[in-house]
Amino acid sequence: MRRRPARFSLLLVFFAAIPATALASSDGHGFGYDVWLILAAMILAAKIGGEVAVRLNQPAVLGELCVGIVLGNLYLLGLDTFDGAAQLVPIEFLAELGVILLLFEVGLESTLSEMRAVAPTSGLVAIVGVIAPMALGYGVSLWLLPDEPFSLHLFIGATLCATSVGITARVLKDLDAMARPETRVILGAAVIDDVLGLIVLAVVASIAQFGEMPGPLDLTRIIGLAAGFLLGALLLGAYFMPSVFRVASKLRTQDVLAAVAIGLCLLLAGVSGAAGLAPIVGAFAAGLILDEVHVRPFGRKSAHDLTEIIGPIVAVMAPIFFVRTGMMVKLGGIGTESLLLAVALTIVAIVGKLVAGLGVRGKTADKLTVGIGMVPRGEVGLIFANVGVGIKLGGKPLIGAGVYAAIVLMVMASTVVTPPWLAQRIRQVMRKQPDVA
């Protein structure tokens, strides 16, 4: 039995035979048949990687990331099958859909009142977790790039502030720690982080581009939109959802519960995107407000049953996001300067968020767990970096190729370092206080 998995790897050999040029084929569609092969390879490889990780006593998501790194760097061995695959629109889209559904499922496993209870703690953690990495990142940039302008230091600091909660959520889910107070604090802080990050980006981009703070009107608009969305989501939960689900429960079509739930999840994801927030914030909010109350009309279908229906969908889709994240780590062609900057940024990225964990008051939750849980940066950091590339100072992009590579490396390092570390810590905490979970 131990030697059987070799047959599995036969499948991978098969995929290696697809030439990268096939990627260009597209029989009148915006994509070719090879997208199905790449997707199949990513899904099957994710399960192999996840399995290896689980057997090494690690969360499955770590294996998915590593398998992604392997696939994304096969080009170094002359196999170009997966070169550029991560950038294909269908793959990018499905990955994003996967993490949206994951955060929706995570939201389903928490309730609004649980989140409200930890709100003050989450708020403090989020604020410290934005200020500390920004200040440290500014310092590192000033130290390593002394000749660069003030606005670049500011921008690099800003890329360090946003938490990417997907990885942390998966680790805590893999380890059955969804009901822990630490989990709630991290999730709440990540949502607030996202709103704060939005404001930081607006301020920093305005300073870099126009040399001044954004006007009070602009700031009000940004904050108003984000706050308006969060408030709107809560109101929706209280007044709108019960009727929608009462109606839906009367429908005679099959599987209406899954469709309505996912429809509402995508609706809030889109609205949250329209408000300038990450779509996963909306998906999480959708899960949060879908309480058992709303699903009760479906007879024996409770919110738990909804998780059971959504579960297999998430199990297939979410790994696509993590494998793709791994695939974007390019191991070849990084200069020494970028590497040095990357190492320094990674250190302050980690230290800055560990400091944020000190925002936990008293013994309500483990400070270190919360800190580690906030470490992963992700898409949001990369979006900031892309905005920086778009800002031109004297014809040159504010963030050049070297700094951009360093930021990408920081994002990747913070992402890969989290799963084993968080797993080790939360297991320790759960052994000490098994009753809390």
Show contacts with a second copy in window 368-427 (CB under 8 A).
Answer: 383, 386
Specify whether the CB–CB gap between 265 and 104 falls below 8 A. yes
Residue-by-residue DSSP string for 45-107: HHHHHHHHHHHTTS-HHHHHHHHHHHHHTGGGGT--TTTTGGGSHHHHHHHHHHHHHHHHHHH
Nearest residue (CB) to a second copy, 144 versus 309: 309
Residue with tokens 């410290």: 128
Tell me the closest approach of the beta carbon of residue 291 to a second copy, in angstroms: 18
CA distance 181 to 20: 47
Q: Which of 152, 165, 189, 262 binds a second copy (CB under 8 A)?
A: 262
- Which residues, in sequence order, are bridge partners of residue 393? 396
Q: Which of residues 100-119 bind a second copy (CB under 8 A)?
A: 100
Question: Which among 34-42, 140-148, 197-205, 407-415 is the span making contact with a second copy, rule CB under 8 A?
Answer: 34-42
Count CB-CB contacts under 10 A for residue 386. 13
Of the candidates 228, 229, 301, which has an alpha carbon nearest to the alpha carbon of residue 271? 229
Tokens of 256: 């209406």
Q: Which of 118, 260, 289, 354 binds a second copy (CB under 8 A)?
A: 260
Residues 182-193: b if buried by 16+ CB within 10 A, e if exposed = bbbbbbbbbbbb
Q: Which of 219, 267, 339, 351 binds a second copy (CB under 8 A)?
A: 267
Measured CA distances, 61 to 45, 118, 320, 376 (Å): 12, 27, 11, 13
CA distance 421 to 373: 9
Q: Which of 146, 312, 332, 362 binds a second copy (CB under 8 A)?
A: 312
Q: Which of 120, 224, 263, 335 binds a second copy (CB under 8 A)?
A: 263
Under the binding rule (CB under 8 A), the answer on residue 29 touching a second copy is yes
Under the binding rule (CB under 8 A), the answer on residue 84 touching a second copy is no
Q: Which of residues 156-195 bind a second copy (CB under 8 A)?
A: none
Q: Which of 77, 217, 252, 394 binds a second copy (CB under 8 A)?
A: 252
Q: Which of residues 270-289 bind a second copy (CB under 8 A)?
A: 270-274, 279
Q: Give the count of residues interacting with a second copy (CB under 8 A).
A: 78
Nearest residue (CB) to a second copy, 246 versus 304: 246
Q: Which of residues 200-239 bind a second copy (CB under 8 A)?
A: none
Tell me the closest approach of the beta carbon of residue 25 to a second copy, in angstroms: 9
Measured in degrees and rounded to the nearest 5, phi and psi for residue 392 equal: -100, 130
Under the binding rule (CB under 8 A), the answer on residue 34 touching a second copy is yes
Under the binding rule (CB under 8 A), the answer on residue 264 touching a second copy is yes
